[in-house]
Amino acid sequence: MNKVYFAILLISLAISGCSDDDDEVLQIENQNPGDFTVTVTETTNSSSLLTWDPAIDPNGDTITYSVFLNGNEIQSQLKVTQFLLDNLSEQTMYTGMIVASDGNNGSSESEFNFTTLGSSNEVMVAWQKSLGGSFDDEAYAILQTADMGYIVAGVTESEDGDVTENNGGKDGWIVKLDAEGNVQWETSLGGTANETIHDIQQTADGGYIVGAFSTSSDGDVVVNNGMRDFWIVKLDASGNIVWRTGAGGGEDDILEAIIETSDGAIVAVGFTSSDTFDVSGQSDAWVVKLDENGELLWETNLGDAQRDVAMSVVETADLGYAFTGSTETEVDKRDVWVVKLDQDGLVEWDRKYGGSENDTANSIQQTPDGGYIIGGASQSENGNVLENKGGSDAFIIKTDVAGNIVWTKSYGGSSSDWITDIKQTNNGGYIAIGSSSSDDFDVENNNGAADFWILRLQANGDMVWQQNLGGQGDDYAFSIQETSDGGFITAGTWYTNIMGNGEGTTGDFNYWVIKLE
């Protein structure tokens, strides 16, 4: 009897245990559909095609899709993976997302953005100015000022025409323009040898910080340490010198870019060949930080056994710095180089991009997503470079915050094409400028020799339009900025008094300033 009772008890427990397990198996939590990616193609001035790969549901549920554009749901319950957006406005940035739903409160999403094209691919020139004298005058930097005018800087060998003074040899030359391009004031900076301004920024006090290099030790230049030195000058709003300082060693130290930082200090980058700084190779990238009075806070040089240069610098959202330039991997073979520094100049990471040939960078900007946009030139057709159409091509890299590649683009023709400056625009796309000697593939309407070459890009790097400006001589563009009216201001140097877009030069090379609508 006891054995029978015990057997019945065991069977009851087993049944009870199985019942609990079955309940647990039946209580399966719904899982969201898997990740998927949206691709934007066939963008015109009024439409764009969205295509996405299917979202796979782990529970086997049927997936439907909803389309959101600029925060509004415009389509729901789609069972296909393609949707045409139409009736869009031209030259407008759109953002949106596709939401995949499983019908059981599970969902996943994928975002997209694009900029529609314009009905005309030709940029309109509002006005343009040729500035200089009877000798070479070359502009390297321009920006819109707080009063809606412009400041342009570079180098002059003239002492006539628009140039009222020359201290000897080459001087740094700064010209202040009003909103219509009329000269308000100009000033020459330097000594009896040679000075060249590569960069200028307006400071928080309304004045300017000037980044240059110098071989003088007289005139406006207090001291020279040997050959070419970094030379940094603080000006007031009227162009008067507040202070100036030099930095360098016994060899060449060339400044390429300068910024005012959020703490009121100054960071300048370039390269040094001076043994004073324990250079690793022929030259190292050199980063110098000064306080608001021009006193040195810290400096650091970075590089390997060959030639390494820094060409552009930006303060990052975390109050550190990122610079770009190039590093020589072997003789006459360079890679694009990006280095992220903390606020004390210590390296957080560095990345190299390019292929087996010469790849260089001239411009970097941090984008609102925390990543970076980098512009330069490439002769490669492998590695990170998808194609080369001949000679050097314009090379653009978009990275995430850690320097990982998001996308790369190469544009150009069968001759030489490159980018000297690139910036993100208010609509989320990009404006880039450089020079081009091509007249085929991506480049149209070359005017002769090298032209100013302007590229308008979507947020994904696709070209919206391109424009050549210039004459039959060589015309080199170095700087561009979006202006408060949605147009652009650009500057460089041009050599043409024969035929072309310009108004004629007074000497060999002149400053050329162009306002685009």
CATH number at residue 348: 2.130.10.10
Determine, yes or no, domain membership for 6. no
Decide which of 15 and 80 is more confident: 80
Among residues 74, 89, 115, the one where a domain terminates is 115
**Residue-wise pLDDT tens digits, 29-60:** 899 999 999 999 888 888 999 999 999 999 99
Among residues 115, 148, 182, the one where a domain terminates is 115
Determine, yes or no, domain membership for 27. no
pTM of the entire predicted model:
0.80
**Residue-wise pLDDT tens digits, 451-475:** 999 999 999 999 989 999 988 888 9
Rounded Cα gap, residues 514 and 250, in angstroms: 39
Token code pair at residue 7: 């057997």
Claim to verify: residue 167 and residue 276 sit in the same structural domain: yes
Residue with tokens 């993100």: 424
Token code pair at residue 497: 């008094």
User: What is the distance in angstroms between the CA of the first residue and the CA of the last residue of the chain?
Assistant: 103
Claim to verify: residue 188 and residue 256 sit in the same structural domain: yes
What secondary structure, in 3-state letters, does 108-139 show?
EEEEEEEECCCCCCCCCEEEEEEECCCCCEEE
Claim to verify: residue 289 and residue 371 sit in the same structural domain: yes
Claim to verify: residue 92 and residue 142 sit in the same structural domain: no
Claim to verify: residue 249 and residue 111 sit in the same structural domain: no
Determine, yes or no, domain membership for 327. yes
Rounded Cα gap, residues 253 and 283, in angstroms: 9
Claim to verify: residue 95 and residue 135 sit in the same structural domain: no
- Using left for φ > 0, alpha for ψ between -120 and 50, and beta otherwise, residue 190 falls in left
Among residues 115, 142, 175, the one where a domain terminates is 115
Residue with tokens 């390297």: 140
Give the range of the structural domain holding residue 111, as residue numbers without chain letter: 38-115
Determine, yes or no, domain membership for 225. yes
CA distances 169 to 3, 154, 172, 276, 508, Å, are: 116, 14, 10, 27, 16
Total count of domains within the chain: 2
pLDDT, mean of residues 243-267: 95
Determine, yes or no, domain membership for 16. no
If you average pLDDT over every residue of the chain, what do you get?
90
**Residue-wise pLDDT tens digits, 108-158:** 999 998 888 765 556 789 999 999 999 999 999 999 999 999 999 999 999
Rounded Cα gap, residues 282 and 304, in angstroms: 9
pLDDT greater than 80 at residue 319? yes
Claim to verify: residue 130 and residue 108 sit in the same structural domain: no
Residue with tokens 């060999």: 508
Rounded Cα gap, residues 133 and 163, in angstroms: 6
Calculate ∠ Cα 495-501-502, nearest 5°.
50
Claim to verify: residue 44 and residue 73 sit in the same structural domain: yes
CATH number at residue 79: 2.60.40.10
Determine, yes or no, domain membership for 15. no
Token code pair at residue 513: 């300033």
| Torsion over CA: 151, 155, 159, 160 (sign) | negative
Token code pair at residue 239: 């162009």
The pLDDT, as a whole number, for residue 402 is 98
Determine, yes or no, domain membership for 11. no
